[in-house]
């Protein structure tokens, strides 16, 4: 009696895969942008209900947000010897710079003087004059199929109307206190001046 043949077992995938992107069809799971063909990408193995495969990231994006995975990928090694991979120390500097930027990032809502006259009020779409007050509030936006909260700048006089807009996610309740907490470098009396320009919030 002839024995039935069993299908060959699929090779086990390594936890990490570093390679040059074979096409421009994949997207970075960190920045959501396309990974161009030939760009170094890092695949992180995912075992899900529909099978096992790699989630791809630009190597530089992974260094900024998932440095532990980058370190483990370097420990694992095994990428093609012709692949030009940046030194781990160089990637570590990217991570440190990203952390410093995150630490100094302003949290909305806040108010500041417009540094140029090139920015537009996202409520009325008119230019915000250099040196005038602009208020940053959070607005809900769609980004590559995902909903995110992103800060937008508005005139002080447009702030009350913007806070009532359906896609604004900055709360009216406690707004003045949050504005005072998050705004840096204001001189005495300047916050009150801004609040007067904003007007009634109830």
Q: Is 88 helix (H, G, I), strand (E, B) or coil?
A: helix
**pLDDT tens for each residue of 157-184:** 999 999 999 999 999 999 999 999 999 8
Q: Are residues 81 and 116 in the same domain?
A: no
| Token reading at 125 | 């779409």
0.85 surpassed by pTM: no
Domain boundary among 54, 88, 104: 104
Whether residues 77 and 115 share a domain: the answer is no
What is the CATH number for 91? 3.30.1740.10
Name the DSSP class of 92.
H
pLDDT over 90 (residue 138)? yes
**Domain range enclosing 185:** 110-198
User: Over the chain, what is the mean pLDDT?
Assistant: 90
> Does residue 123 lie within any of the structural domains?
yes
Place 137 in a pLDDT band, splitting at 50, 70 and 90: very high
Does one domain contain both 167 and 100? Answer: no
Q: Which is more confidently placed, 49 or 76?
A: 76
* CA distances for 169 relative to 93, 138, 141, 187, angstroms: 34, 5, 10, 28
What is the arithmetic mean of pLDDT over 22-31? 94
Among residues 52, 76, 104, the one where a domain terminates is: 104
Task: Quote the number of domains for the chain.
Answer: 2
pLDDT of residue 5: 47
């Amino acid at each position: 009696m002839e024995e039935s043949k069993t299908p060959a077992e699929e090779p086990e995938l390594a936890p990490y895969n570093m390679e040059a992107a074979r096409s421009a069809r994949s997207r970075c799971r960190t920045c959501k942008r396309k990974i161009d063909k030939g760009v170094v990408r890092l695949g992180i193995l995912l075992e899900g209900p529909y099978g096992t495969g790699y989630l791809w990231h630009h190597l530089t994006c992974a260094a900024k947000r998932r440095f532990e995975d980058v370190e483990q990928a370097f420990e694992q090694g095994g990428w093609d010897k012709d692949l030009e991979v940046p030194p781990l120390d160089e990637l570590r500097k990217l991570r440190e710079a990203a952390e410093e930027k995150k630490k100094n990032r302003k949290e909305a809502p806040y108010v500041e003087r417009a540094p140029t006259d090139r920015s537009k009020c996202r409520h009325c779409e008119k230019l915000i004059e250099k040196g005038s007050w602009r208020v940053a509030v959070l607005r809900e936006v769609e980004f590559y199929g995902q909903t995110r909260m992103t800060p937008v700048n508005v005139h002080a006089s447009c702030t009350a109307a913007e806070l009532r807009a359906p896609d604004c996610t900055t709360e009216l309740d406690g707004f003045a206190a949050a504005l005072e907490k998050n705004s840096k470098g204001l001189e005495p009396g300047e916050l009150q001046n801004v609040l007067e320009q904003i007007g009634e919030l109830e």
